[in-house]
Amino acid sequence: MRKVHRLFFSIILCWLLAIISANCGQETTDAHYPRVPQVLIMSVTGNHYPGITRALSTVGFQVREVSAEGYGSSQRGRSPLLIIPEREGWQLDPALVQTILHDVEGGMPLLLDGPAPWAEELGVKAIGTRSVITRYRWDHYAEDPVRLPGRLAYPRFRANAALQVLALDPNHQAPLVVSGSRGQGRFIYSAIPLEPQEGMVFQYLPFLVQAIVDELHVVPSLAADNLCVYVDAGGEPKIDPALVAAQLKSWSVREIHLGTFYGSEAFREFVPRFIAAAHQEGIAVYAWLEYPMVSQEFWDQHPQWREVTASGHPAIMDWRLHMALEDPACFQAVAELTRRLVLDYDWDGVDFAELYFEGEPKLFERPRDFTPMHPTFRNMFRERYGVDPLIMFDRDSPEYGPRNPELRSELKEYRVELITQLTEHFLEILANCQAQKPYLQTTLTFLDALRDPTVTERFGVDPDRLLALERRFGFAVEIEDPYTVWNSSPDRYRAIGEHYRPRLLPGMPFSLDVNVVDRDPPGRPLNKPRGLELYELVANVAANVDLITLYAFSTFSPDDMRLVPFVLGAQQITNGTPGEGRVSAQRQLLWRTDAHGRTVYLDGQEWPCRSDSQVLIPAGAHSVLTRPQADSAGQSALRIESLNGTILGAERSGQDVRLTYESRGRCYVTLNRLPTTMLCDGAPGVGKVLSNGGRVCLMLPQGKHTVELEK
């Protein structure tokens, strides 16, 4: 009888184990994890490929080289993107070629270059001749031609009619980059080497990453939102604030600096609408001041205060109309305008940007480009040094600048002193405004003199003296590199960041400004940074800053901007590639994923900080995954869909959500619906609810707080 009982018990036990095993297997199958796209570079020759490795890593791909022997064992889980450079393609064993083609047919994406004979299997037939190009067209991404660093000889080929031409040599109407499919897989073939002999990949193939995303459907998923954008709407704004704010939100922008150098009635009416639209998207808005440019209206109304160049002309310098802020009456008028501007609108902060004088190289040979020389400045300089500074621009005078180093040094010092004093006075005005609006933040933006030492003499900007004001005013710092270095290597931003970061007060926000504008002389490969060049710039900036600032909204290409958040995310990950659901990052991340109908778990607990398209992952090391929702009630559960502060903790209790956050300024939290009750640190009535149709955004107080949201 005992044997029967034991047999029965054994059967039941096996049955239970089978059910548990089946359920565990089902859970594993149904679980979705954050994944970094894997890239394998075939290397059977022992050569290394740092250029293409760097380019793809910048955007969030995990790249490693693999031998022929290691290729098969490398394909576990999802199919990686396989890259076969030309010199490797010639050395592949025929059996390995067939294995690779079979894997492509099964869905593996492939990127290759050069006229390897087996490329014919993909519809690419080498002609056996070469042509030389200095530029080419990639019309899907750019209207202007891609300009190469020099002459490049490429192997000509014929493309099967089924292939799509992505890039073209217009002189010979010959394809350079094509894409196609084989079975379930996709491939890109390039006649331009993927690993350049010199220089960086972006100089030859600036749109390679966009092509990989669009043609091969290999897409990164971990993004970050520490992005700020300058917006210049013009004096008669035509843009739709809601559309612009939504577009910027889709690019993970958390802060906008809106140009305020207009005085028209249309602009004054536009500002509150724009601020409200941005706030409803959960984006902070700063007033961007660009003194000594005040506005066209101020320039027209006060001709007596117009700055003057050393040639005696009104100081119309590029797009800026300089006012003589050194004149006490002018300064007082601008100070009052500043107070009214800051206090009359619902700004989150002020960016006091680029207060400097003008001067070009060979300073004294170009008097028309030199400021200030307003009568007030000349009198002030004469009272101190006993000489009219204008005489320093007279070639026949013994006081001519290049001929009198002592006087030249005094002019340099006086201009630096004036810029520093004016900056300090305006910071005092902003501090007084902050006393009335304690949440207001201040950013001081100024030119870097590290890469171009002439900046101090030409513009009157001494970064060390401006930084010394930080201890008194506690402002955030934003550094802009001068236009003279915009054609330099992207690693200049890493050097600038490493120079300034240790000089700032601990805990104070730090940003670098990247100008996405046409360059003079014209830049390469495009006149303004595009594609991979932009991503290299952003990656080098992100290494040392809290916020990356891009100038300006009107100059961006949406094709470029859609991948910028992933560039930011790639710089924050600290554990190389995430393991199965393990993510470690030094900053808050966004996992872009289809979470509709799924429950999100962070460190084993249900996680409320998510939308249907992304999951917010706090800084630090966490396990994160999604599973199908057990019931339909989860669809209507209260969710925190975005937040422009720092998540310190969050939890769900039934239908209620508890959030602990920290924010230097006001914190904007977007929700999927309006909560019935909101308590901040246990108290009701704190914060403000912004709603627009079905969208809900909470404006919460600055600092560290705990918010309880009840259904």
Q: Helix, strand, coil proportions of the chain in percent (round to 5)?
A: 35, 30, 35
Phi and psi at 622, nearest 5°, equal -145, 155
- How much is the pLDDT for 574? 86
Q: CB burial class (10 A; 0-12, 13-18, 19+) of residue 674?
A: middle
Are the C-beta atoms of residues 157 and 127 closer than 8 Å to each other? yes
- How much is the pLDDT for 24? 40
Q: Is the pLDDT of residue 57 over 80?
A: yes
Are the C-beta atoms of residues 134 and 154 closer than 8 Å to each other? no
Q: Can you give 132-161 as a three-state secondary structure string?
A: EEEEEECCCCCCCCEEEEEEEEEEEEEECC
Q: How confident is the model at residue 636 (pLDDT cuts 50, 70, 90)?
A: confident
Q: What span, in angstroms and rounded, lies between the C-alpha atoms of 342 and 664?
A: 18
Q: How confident is the model at residue 73 (pLDDT cuts 50, 70, 90)?
A: low
pTM score, whole prediction: 0.94
Mean pLDDT computed over every residue of the chain: 93
Phi and psi at 677, nearest 5°, equal -140, 140
Query: Which residues in 453-543 belong to E strands, given as ranges?
Result: 476-480, 510-515
CATH of domain 38-219: 3.40.50.880
Are the C-beta atoms of residues 41 and 52 closer than 8 Å to each other? yes
Q: What span, in angstroms and rounded, lies between the C-alpha atoms of 226 and 239?
A: 24
The amino acid at 300:
D
Residue-range domain boundaries for the chain: 38-219, 580-710
Q: How confident is the model at residue 288 (pLDDT cuts 50, 70, 90)?
A: very high
Q: What span, in angstroms and rounded, lies between the C-alpha atoms of 54 and 561?
A: 19
222 three-state secondary structure: strand
The 10 Å CB-count burial string (b at 16+, else e) for 632-647 is: eebeebbbbbbbbbbb
The residues pairing with 552 across neighbouring beta strands, listed in sequence order, are none
pLDDT tens for each residue of 428-468: 999 999 999 999 999 999 999 988 999 999 999 999 999 99
- How much is the pLDDT for 670? 96
Q: What span, in angstroms and rounded, lies between the C-alpha atoms of 369 and 317?
A: 7
Place of tokens 């004036």: 418
Q: Is the pLDDT of residue 29 over 70?
A: no
Taking the C-alpha atoms of 585, 668, 661 and 58 in order, what is their torsion angle to the nearest 10 degrees? 10
Q: How confident is the model at residue 423 (pLDDT cuts 50, 70, 90)?
A: very high
Closest-CA residue to 61 (of 109, 21, 100)? 109
